[in-house]
Amino acid sequence: MAKELKTDILITGGGVGGCAAALVAARYRRVILTEESDWIGGQFTSQVTPPDEHGWIENFGCTKSYRKFRNEVRQYYKNNCPLTETAKANPFLNPGDGWVSPLCAEPKVFLTVLKASLAEYVEKRNLQILTEHFPIAAESQGKVVRAVTLKNLKTGEDITISAKYFIDATELGELLPLTKTEFVTGAESKRETNEPSAKEFAEPNNSQAFSVCFAMSHHEGENHTIEKPKNYEFWRDFVPNLTPPWNGKLLGLSGINPRTMQPITYNFAPHREPNKAFAGLWTYRRILHRENFAAGKFESDITIVNYPQIDYFLEDLSNAANYQAKQRIIDEAKQLSLSFFYWLQTEAGFKGLKLRPDITGTKDGLAKMPYIRESRRIKAEFTICEQHVSATCRLNQIYAEKFNDSVGIGFYRIDLHPTVGGDNYLDVEALPFQIPLGALIPQRVENLLAASKNIGTTHITNGCYRLHPVEWNIGEAAGALAAFCLQNGLTTREVRNDQKHLTAFQDLLEKRGVELEWRKDLKLEEGDPHRFAK
């Protein structure tokens, strides 16, 4: 018989959105947070991906709690690591000096700070965190979810948790099919969304690639060549069948510019690339730059591989039949990642490259969890489409469409990676946008909220709503909404559709430091994600 627990709010998925939801919800109600991995933090930690952020992030354009989290990551380095005096004095310290983000840091530091942020609520017994738990079943009655059953991946035991509100913050929207919440996968048709870039016909199995990232260092004159991966010959000779065509084989230093679709050659020069934007792959997602630390402390920089060469698009995770099928697909993606690493060591001649399991917290040096770009998405009260946010659709405008029910803001290009269905990159300039509350609320189910990449976006707009600060904001709004509804005896739809309740909820968010509108004096060029790179 399954163990049973009761709580006010069950948050399933301890990634970026789930942690943000827990931070606010546990202030007011009893919360249980569950996570498939043994690390909470998702993109920051178990997926080892530094945050993709816009160029205003140091001053505005995110929630107060997100900025506090970032500041505490920097302070951790200043308090605990042997930084140079220059690095320690830098208010905008970027430990890795990676040019993908102004805050490239080690996943274990992100994890430590997240745990410390949540510790207050754990100590007060308002928050219980269950890692290594995966949802396998749910009980619903009409429009109401009653309970979710999860399997303890360590012991094999089942646990059933009943709650008043359920927040799905999993990477793939795992609660949606279990709770019979209506959802969409893959690409919608142009008839459904009226989006200029949409497909003529819906392709529900056509989701974006996911990646199993890894950390590596480089030690000149040493040989750290791994055993040849079992699928190496397949991947060494693999030529992507994409439209428009890929530039040669997947494994290599040739590729496609996502914005122009022209062939490019990547620079890869460990310890020899300049510290500036687009300098090369080594500095791209570098999370530890040895020059920021005391001389001799580190033999090598450490960088994260989340390159096009490890995008796995042969099978669709969001339509995997079950947990075992999902794991099989992830295992195949791991073979691609290891094959690219082996290619770099052998074909490219970098024998000194070394996998870093001490960074990823795994035996093989690969990330604990795959980096997911596209999830199951709820059929929402409101769906965000390309025409709401695209610069091309909103010519001569600085801002995306204004939403009366805004619960936050974000900014990033619409960035779609190659897909299972054979589509190459889609890169569309977006405008600074808002997060509408309606996108978090399912059309039918009453007490479930989306809090990750599973909100009411389309295949296309998912490409700009899936980044770290946006997901944090979405999770914070979802956690706040569940607590607000319980405190005031309201449904989520009553909050959204009654102006008095909506205003009260938005006032609560603003008091928490959630920005609901963009500033009036934006200069779009200053929002370039790489403007802080040296």
Calculate the CA 295 to chain-centre distance: 34
d(CA 313, CA 424) in angstroms, rounded, equals 10
* pLDDT of the residue at 533: 61
* pLDDT of the residue at 530: 78
User: How many Cα atoms occupy the beta-carbon half-sphere of 337 within 13 Å?
Assistant: 29
* pLDDT of the residue at 143: 97
**β-bridge mates for residue 378, sequence order:** 183
Contact present, 282 and 269 (Cβ < 8 Å): yes
* pLDDT of the residue at 267: 97
d(CA 458, CA 428) in angstroms, rounded, equals 14
d(CA 507, CA 531) in angstroms, rounded, equals 32
Which candidate, 42, 8, 31, places its Cα nearest to that of 114?
42
* pLDDT of the residue at 529: 86
d(CA 166, CA 163) in angstroms, rounded, equals 7
DSSP 10: E
* pLDDT of the residue at 358: 98
**pLDDT one digit per residue (tens) for the chain, 534 residues:** 679 999 999 999 999 999 999 999 999 999 999 999 999 999 999 999 999 999 999 999 999 999 999 999 999 999 999 999 999 999 999 999 999 999 999 999 999 999 999 999 999 999 999 999 999 999 999 999 999 999 999 999 999 999 999 999 999 999 999 999 999 999 999 999 999 999 999 999 999 999 999 999 999 999 999 999 999 999 999 999 999 999 999 999 999 999 999 999 999 999 999 999 999 999 999 999 999 999 999 999 999 999 999 999 999 999 998 999 999 999 999 999 999 999 999 999 999 999 999 999 999 999 999 999 999 999 999 999 999 999 999 999 999 999 999 999 999 999 999 999 999 999 999 999 999 999 999 999 999 999 999 999 999 999 999 999 999 999 999 999 999 999 999 999 999 999 999 999 999 999 999 999 999 999 999 998 876 664
* pLDDT of the residue at 1: 60
Strand 302-305: give its sheet, edge to edge: 286-288, 302-305, 214-218, 353-355
d(CA 222, CA 34) in angstroms, rounded, equals 42
Contacts of 24 (CB under 8 A, 6+ apart): 65, 476, 479, 480, 483, 512
* pLDDT of the residue at 532: 62
DSSP 209: P
d(CA 242, CA 235) in angstroms, rounded, equals 16
* pLDDT of the residue at 189: 98
DSSP string, 471-484: HHHHHHHHHHHHHH
d(CA 191, CA 223) in angstroms, rounded, equals 56
Which stretches within 124-215 are classed as H helix? 175-178, 190-193
Enter the tokens of residue 108: 């274990």
* pLDDT of the residue at 146: 98
Angle of CA points 474, 372, 466, to nearest 5°:
30
> Structural domain boundaries of the chain?
3-94+107-187+437-515
Angle of CA points 425, 429, 433, to nearest 5°:
120
Which stretches within 380-527 are classed as H helix? 386-389, 462-465, 468-488, 492-497, 499-511
Q: Do you find a cis peptide bond into 263, omega within 30 degrees of 0? A: no
DSSP string, 93-144: --TT--TT-S----HHHHHHHHHHHHHHHHHTTSEEEEESEEEEEEEEETTE
**β-bridge mates for residue 9, sequence order:** 31, 165
* Residue where the block lists tokens 């900014």: 411
The CATH topology of domain 3-94+107-187+437-515 is: FAD/NAD(P)-binding domain (3.50.50)
Neighbours of 402 (CB within 10 A): 12
pLDDT tens readout for residues 65-111 = 999 999 999 999 999 999 999 999 999 999 999 999 999 999 999 99
